[in-house]
Each structure stands twice: as structure tokens, then as C-alpha cells.
Structure 1
């Protein structure tokens, strides 16, 4: 057995023994030994393999799988520029705490810096974005026993670090795999891994996965009760953390301002349309909290950011990992689950009731405005209606930009949905692939849905390509199509003084029929023009794309109108 094949089989065997159930491959020559070992493992029923022609798509598919399943997923590329296409997904995994394994095949050291084909300096390629990176070294003949032990220990450590078992801070890991020719098996025995090493391996008994039980790792936050006017702000976070925070808030009776992907969105005290309440200055002045407990990474709302920057508010951050969100540098306390004290007296029940009543009034006013026939099926109404129409147990992946903000402001929070979003770095790239991966790994096994803008959809069209023999997701992608970057119409670039350059530089109209585009890539596709058509389109099953034509200028005007009706409902007209 040649060294490259021996290494690849041990690598894959140890990943499977360490809990890997899915792997993603983008085709290439230098990565052939590992790709073939993964294929053999799938044939043996040891894992599920996914193949994509585009490395960026492959990486975001792996990200979606890892995010939904909560366990490491490797993505394999060949050498050279292919490795660079993983970087965006690695950055998102780093910021979101997703256990992504970047496996990059490489030329051996003697070919680096020589002008050899498809060769770049890959060690350290992802810089500080990875929790750990190692240039594994080139397999050599005659050193099988020692190398076998080393290879297994490297893979075991990579899985531990990616899962955050030691640090409590999961995230991406980079293994750079230098390989010399021959690259194809020469022993005629596909899929046979090298035997396990004899003796103890890094403290692990032979035959058992290498695990570390770190004290306190993964412990849920035990939020401490304190002064009467306390809010919980829950940003994007692992679902278990958000659920634990929601349960603690419920015990204390605190309102929860939860982003859709926080895991706390369906909390008993979740406040619908919190950003609209916080944007009403007079109401907020009368109902400002004394204390805000931050869990996860809130990024969606300027009013929430302003609240956290308010010097009159004590901000306490629950840090479940060594990384926490405090962009305003205003946290008075950062604690591992227990900020604050218990000495400030009972909750202010009347204040809590005011928050609940205000959210109800604003919700009713918003619904009435969205349902006004004069508006038709807008992007804002679509966000609310999609969330309301999904079956219990469904998965919803929400694209960055306008859709996730519309869901956050306008939809009724639901605890019976799994909601995911790439909010670590909040890019629009790779969203289709992330949704496909999440759909294939959805723990509930129910149908999956994604809501994303037209530019987000077009940015990742290759995510729709499912090759022969690949798993097909039960995924319905809903696209509000306003022919460009509609969010900019609601921000500063959409102001009249920028009108001369807005359309080309910010609006970026694409002029494409997205139904035809989706069908050309093999997906069923439907155009929805009326609100009443939406439930049937969502119930038709996937893989499917549902396109709803909207108007960016009208959506921007409606956003202003919704703020006005919310203020009126709060008595600030």
C-alpha cells in the first residue's frame, strides 16, 4: 500500500471513529487518496458523502451540515486556489462557533516556492480564523507504525478542538495534507484502513474515541435574578445556549428580545417586534431597563445596539466560550453563565406587563398594515407569512440582509421551529449551500425551508446543483425578488441625494427570471403573486424554489410606514 493511500485510510477511519457522519468533497487530483477513502467509507455504510463541483459551495454545504447536526463535518479540496475558496465558510464557522474541518490537499514541501503547478503556501492559509491548524506532514514509506499513531492523534485532536470539548469554544480546524505521488491505491483492497496502533494513544484506550470532559464545558447559563427591570437580549447562538437562556429568563419572568437564530426566539417571554419598540424614544424612555443580560451575538437591530450602548443601562454578558459579543465595550460584567447578584429586590411585574402589552399592540398594528390589500404581497409580509405557515418541527434558514431583519421585526416568534442563519460574519455568500447542508442534517427530519433575497440566491446558484447519486434535500427556497439589493433602499444609500448612482452601484439589478433560472438548474420552481397562493406553494415539497416579485422602493416606503404605525400604537403618533 503506498504511503498516500495508507494515510488517507487512517485519516478517514479516525474521523469516523471520532463521530464524523458526513463529509463533503470537491473533486481534484492531489486530494484523490482521501476522496477515494471517503467514497469507500460511504460504500461500507460508515458515513454519508456529498460531492460538489465548486469548493465554495462545498464549504458552505459542510457548514450547514455541521451547524444543523452540531458535530464536525470535513470538507476536502485539492491544492492551490481551491483551498482559498473555503475561506469565507471558515470565517463564518469561526464567528459562529461551527465545527468545520478544512482538509486541504497540498503538494509536498519540495515543490513549494518552486513555481510548481497548482502550488501555493497553504500552511497558515486561514490565519487566526481557525481554532487550530497543522501542516500534517508527508506520509513516507517504512515508517508505518509511528505515522499511524501520529495521524490518529492529529485527527483526534482536530475533532476535540473543533467541537470545543476542551475550550468550550467550537470552531473550524485546518489540516493541510501534503501528499506525494502515487496518489491512487495500488494494493487492490479498497477501504482497508491501517490497524489501530498498539498501546495507549494520547491517553485513549485502544478502540475507543478520544474524548475530553472539560470542567464546565458546555454548561448552560445560570442567569442570576436581580433588579426589577431586567431584559435578556439573545443574539445568534448555538441552540442549546439560547434555550437555556430562555428557560432562565422564564424562571425570573424577564422579557426576552431574541433574534430568530438565537435558540431563544420561542421563549415564553419573547417580545415580538422588539426593534420597533426600542425605536420609539418616548416609550423607551418610560420603559428603559435597568439591566440587560446579553447572550449570544446580537447583530440585527440598530435600536438594540443603541440600547446596549446606553450608559444608563447596566449590560452584563453571559460568556459560554472565551469569545463574547461586546462591540460597544460597555459590558459591566462578563461571566461564565452567572453575571450579577441577587441583592436588588423582586422583579417589577408591572413593567414586565407593560412590555408584553406594548408588543401585543405593536403586533396588531403591524399585522393590520401588512394585510392592507393596497400593499399586496410585500417582502415584509412574506417574511411574516412564511414563518406563520411552516409546519411544526420544520427547519428555516434565513438569509442575511433584509429577510432575517424582516423576520426579526415582523414575524410572530415560534419555539417549534429550528431557525438558522449565517450571522457570524453575516455574509450573503453560500446561503443556498448552507441551507442544503442544514436540510440534509436537520435533526427533526421534517421539511426544510429557506428565505433569502434575490442577490443572495444568485450569489450561490451552484448550491442548487445536485450531482447524480447525491442526496436530494426536502428544501423549499423562498425568494423575494426585487431585482437587486433591496436592503440599500432602506439604508443611507437609498436617500435621494444618492439617486444618480444608486441603481448601478447599490441596486445592482440583475434582470433575470429566477423561476427560469431555478428550473434550468433542475429544481421545480413556482411564482407566487398573491398572499393566498403562498401556503400551497410552501406545502408542495422540495426541492423547490418559490419566487415572489416585490418592489424595492415600495418595500422601503413600507418599512417607514411600519415604524410609524408602531409608534402610533405606542401612543407616539
Structure 2
């Protein structure tokens, strides 16, 4: 086996030992040794390999696999702009703390900086977006154990977010011998969780749960008797303390809030952002693996977990006190009028999101796109037990959502999860439509993609630029209508497509089905601003 093939075999073998069960590859020449090593690992059942022709799609596919499995997922590219195309996925993984392992093939050192073909400066290409950067080279000639140790250190860093390994490979790039087939025992990283920080009683507290923080937030809110302001992708939006209409309630009760406990990265609501920016409130942050949200001039307490002094680990839910009861009663009133306004508003993004949320079967996965989709879902009722919602809320971009959903669905169903769904707008779908391009040998999940098509950027109608005084410029520079035939676009990749022209149609199309399919729901963007104004006015009237 030549040096490049041997190095690639060591890298892939150590990734498998460290817990990688899925890997994503984009084809190229310089990464041939890594490609062949991954293919051999796939052939022998040590991991499952996914091949994508576009590196940006590959990056987000790996992101979805890692997000849903919580295991390190390597994504492998050749040199040059191929490596640069992974940057958006790396940024998202950075902010949301996803264990994405980027492996970029590179030229030997003497071919760098001299104008050699397909050669760019890949050293620290992703800057501060990765937890660590290392370079492996066939020319360094370390021992095999030293190479393995380097990969182990990289995987240790990946527990907190993305890492980058640049692999300098020299020709010949194709092995001249049989794979070693050497099997080595797996290894595990030790957990480094710190003990919880204790909180004193006496302060009127709310718990805000942002992206990806799971059931700890729900349990703590219920055991402590706090209102739970949980975003859809928090993993905590269920149970009796979770509030549907919290975005309308925060400003109303803002002056009475004395302490905010924040799990994860809350990013959806301007009212929550205002709350987290105040100087007169005590903040306790439990950031998890993602980047800390620290908006207040007041220094927060940062902890890996918190416990009130009156709560013991595993304690059951306490009965609501006067503070929690105020929030629950207001939420019931707000939910009642929300239901009335949404039902009378016809086919809208909010109505579609609520229908999708209500139809999720047990053990289902829902991946929500950024922009309008996740915010519309934020007005749905708390999800039932054993439903999982994921979203790219680290940097909150719309790019890569189709590929993220595919990766998350593949990982979810590999762990015996149920059917998977995705909810996104038309621009989000178009931005990553090439994620639907799958080779004949590639694994396909059971995934239904619901596209709310309002022919442009509906979210902008709700912002300042959507006001009537900006109407002359709005459509071209914000609305961006496109007129794309989504059925024809899906046909190009042999993806089944159906239209749902009513909520009843949509309900039928949401029945679990095998394979990948797209369900398009067309809505009228011109009505979005008025509908949201009606919602705000109706809730204000109900609470007055």
C-alpha cells in the first residue's frame, strides 16, 4: 500500500473507531485515497457512505446526519474551490455545535503558492468557525500511532462543533495493494460535564429554550414551576408549561420578569431578543454545544446545567403557583383567538405549519426551514410526545435545508425512528433543490418535503421594508418573485411531486409514505402582512 493510501486508511479507520457511522463524499481526484478508504469501510459494513456531486449539498447532508445522530460525521472533498463550498455548512455547525468533521484533500507543500492547478491556501480555510485545525501529510512520516492520536484529538474537539483536517496527499493516489482489513477496538471519549449550578429562590423566572437543547429544559421548567418559552427546534416544546403564544406574552409581562434561564440559542422572536437585551434582569445561560447568546450589558452566569435550590434531580412537576398561572391563563386566551384568526384566514403559511405539526405521528422527525417556516411553526400547538423537530438555527440561513433534511431523515431512520417531514418556503427549497439529485446507489429516506410556495420572500412583508411606503421597490429587491414550476423542477430529479390546494388535501398527503416526495402548497404572499397584523390585534384585545 502506497503512503497516500496508507494515510487515508488510518484516518478512516480512526474515524470509525471514534464513533463515525455515516460519511459523505464528493468525488474528485486528489481525494481518491480517502474515497477508496471510505468505499472499503462502506463495503465491509463499518460505516455507511453517501456520495453527492455538489460539495455545498454534501456539507449540509453531513450536517443533518450529525445533527440527528449526535455523532461525528466526516465530509470529504478534493482540493480547491470544492473545499470552499463547505464553508456555509461549517458556519452553521459552528454556531449550533454540531460534530461535523471536514476532511479536505490537498497538494503536497511544494505545489502550494506556485500556481499549481486546483490549489488554494486551505490551511485554516474556515478560520475561527472550527474548533481545531490540523494537517496530516504523507511527507511528515509520523508513526501510525501518532497519526491515530492526531485524529483522536480532532474527534475530541468535534464534541463541541466542527473541526477541519487538511490531508496532503502525494501521487500515486490509487493504492497498489489490498486493503489491510485491520479491525481495531473502538474507543470512547469521556464526558466532561460539570456539576449543576444552584439558583436561589425568590425571583420571578421564565425559561427560554432555544435550538437543540432537549428535554432538560422542559424538565427544569416543570420541576421549578416556570413558564417555558420553547422554540420549535428546542426539543422542549411539549408538556403543560410550554406556551404556544409566548411571543405575544413576553412584552406584556416583561416588567415583572426578574430572571431568565436560557437554554441553547433562542433566535426567533424579537420580543425574546428584547428581553435578553435588558440590563435589569438576571440571566443564567446554559448554552450547550452552540455559541453563547449574550445580548445583555449585564454579565450572565454561564453553566452546563442549573438547579434551583428547592429542586432535586429527577423531581416531578410542581403545581402552578400564581406566577406560572398568570402565563398559562394568558396563553389559553391567546391560543383561542389565534385559532380563530388562522382558521378564518384561509390557506396561509401559519395554517400549513399548524397542520403539519398536528399530523406528526409518534416517533416522527420534522426539519423546519429558516425564514417564515420556523416562525410559522412557532405558532403551532406544543408538539406531542416523541416528536422531534430540527432546524438550522445556528446562523439561521436558508441554504442547504433540503440536504440537511435528507441527512437528518437518514440518521433518524437508521436509529429506528419514524417517518420524516420537512417544512420550508419556496426560496429555501429553490436554494438547495440540487439536494434532490441522488445517484442510483444512494440511500433514500422516507421524507415528505412540504413547500409553502408564495412565489418569493414572504418574511420580508412582515419587516420594515414590507410597509406600504416601500411598495415601489419591494417586489424586485425583497419579494423576488421567480415563477418557477416546482413540479417540473422535481421531475428533473425524478422526485415525486403533488399539489395540495387545501388543508384537507395537505392532511391526506401527510400520511406516512415510503421514499422521497415533495408536497407543494401555494399561498398568497400579499395577504401575509395583514394576517399577522390581525393576529397581533386579536391577541392584544383578548388579553386586555
Task: Tell me if TM exceeds 0.5.
Answer: yes
Map of 1:271-282 to 2, 5 A cutoff?
271-279=243-251
| Alpha-carbon spacing, 1:523–1:319, altered in 2? closer, same or farther (3 Å) | closer
Aligned to 1:227: 202
- Which position in structure 1 is the counterpart of 2:314? none
Residue aligning to 1:432: 402
Matched, 1:216 2:181: no
The alpha carbon displacement at 1:338 in A equals 3.1
CA distance in 2, matches of 1:71, 1:29: 28
Query: Deviations for 1:128-179, whole angstroms, at most 9, x for unmatched residues?
Result: 1000101112357xx5xx431222111111111112xxxxxx1001000111
CA contact (8 A) 2:55 2:77 kept: yes
Give 2:286's match in structure 1, choosing from 309, 318, 338.
Answer: 318
Residues 332, 185 of structure 1: CA spacing in aligned structure 2 closer, same or farther, 3 A cutoff? closer
Quote the offset at 1:238 in angstroms: 3.7
When residues 321 and 481 of structure 1 are mapped into structure 2, their CA distance, relative to the original with a 3 A threshold, is closer
Q: Which residue of 2 aligns with 1:29?
A: 29
Partners of 2:359 and 2:335 in 1: CA distance: 17
Which is further off, 310-319 or 413-422? 310-319
Change (3 A) 1:331 1:246: farther
User: In the alignment, which residue of structure 2 is the partner of 1:556?
Assistant: 529
Q: Which residue of 1 aligns with 2:164?
A: 174
- CA gap of 1:432–1:331, structure 2 versus 1, over 3 A, is same
Q: Secondary structure at the match of 2:137?
A: coil
* Distance of aligned partners of 1:393 and 1:402 in 2 relative to their CA distance in 1, 3 Å threshold: same
Q: Could you say what the CA RMSD is over the residues aligned between the two structures, in angstroms? A: 2.1
Residue 502 of structure 1 and its aligned partner are, at CA, apart by 0.9
1:190-201 mapped onto 2 (5 Å cutoff): 191-193=179-181
User: 1:352 aligned to 2:324?
Assistant: yes
Pair 1:171–1:17, CA change in 2 (3 A) = same
* Partner residue in 1 for 2:151: 155
1:376 and 1:531 in contact (8 A); partners too: no
Q: How does 1:557-572 map to 2 (within 5 A)?
A: 557-571=530-544
> Higher mean Cα deviation, 502-511 or 318-327?
318-327
> 1:110 matched to which residue of 2?
110
Aligned partner of 1:186 in structure 2 is: 176
Moved more, 511-520 or 104-113: 511-520
1:97-140 CA distance string (max 9 Å, x none): 00000000001100001100000010110011000101112357
Note the C-alpha offset of 1:225.
5.7
Q: Say which is worse superposed, 128-137 or 325-334, in terms of deviation.
A: 325-334
Q: For residues 216-256 of structure 1, give each alpha carbon's deviation from its aligned partner in whole angstroms, at most 9, with x where no partner exists.
A: 26x6x5664622521101111343xxx11211221111110
Return the alpha-carbon distance in structure 2 between the equivalents of residues 349 and 107 of structure 1: 65
Deviation for aligned residue 1:518: 1.5
CA positional deviation for 1:348: 7.8
Matches within 5 A, 1:385-400: 385-400=355-370
User: For residues 243-392 of structure 1, what are the structure 2 equivalents within 5 Å?
Assistant: 243-279=215-251, 283-284=252-253, 288-320=256-288, 323-338=291-306, 349-372=321-344, 375-392=345-362
- In 1: Cα distance, 2:139 partner to 2:48 partner: 26
Q: Deviations over 1:508-551 (max 9, x none)?
A: 11111212212222111111111111111111524110111111
TM-score, structure 2 normalization: 0.94
Classify the secondary structure of the residue corresponding to 1:381. helix
Cα distance, 1:214–1:445 mapped onto 2, change above 3 Å:
closer
CA displacement at 1:409 relative to structure 2 = 2.6
What is the total number of aligned residue pairs between the two structures? 535
- The equivalent of 1:479 in structure 2 is 451
Over 3 Å counting, the alpha-carbon distance change for 1:567 and 1:483 in structure 2 is same
Q: CA deviation at 1:186?
A: 1.2
Asked whether the equivalents of residues 278 and 297 of structure 2 are also in contact (C-alpha less than 8 Å), the reply is no
Deviations 1:418-465 (A, max 9, x none): 110000000000000000000000134210000011000000011111
Tell me which residue corresponds to 2:315. none
* CA deviation map 1:262-312 (0-9, x unaligned): 121114311111002225xxx426x73222111111110001111222344
Q: Would the aligned equivalents of 2:193 and 2:304 in 1 still touch at CA under 8 Å?
A: no
Residue in 2 aligned with 1:200? Answer: none
Deviations, residues 291-347 of structure 1 (Å, cap 9, x unaligned): 21111111100011112223443222234459421123334433342377669xx99
User: Which deviates more from structure 2 when the two are superposed, residues 409-418 or residues 553-562?
Assistant: 409-418
Q: Does 1:522 pair with 2:522?
A: no
CA contact (8 A) 1:319 1:337 kept: no
Decide whether the 8 Å contact of 2:208 with 2:229 is kept in 1. Answer: yes
Aligned twin of 2:520: 547
Q: What is the distance in 1 between the residues matched to 2:22 and 2:466?
A: 43
Distance 1:81 1:160 in 2: 28
After alignment, is 262-271 or 38-47 more displaced? 262-271
- 2:121 is matched with which residue? 121
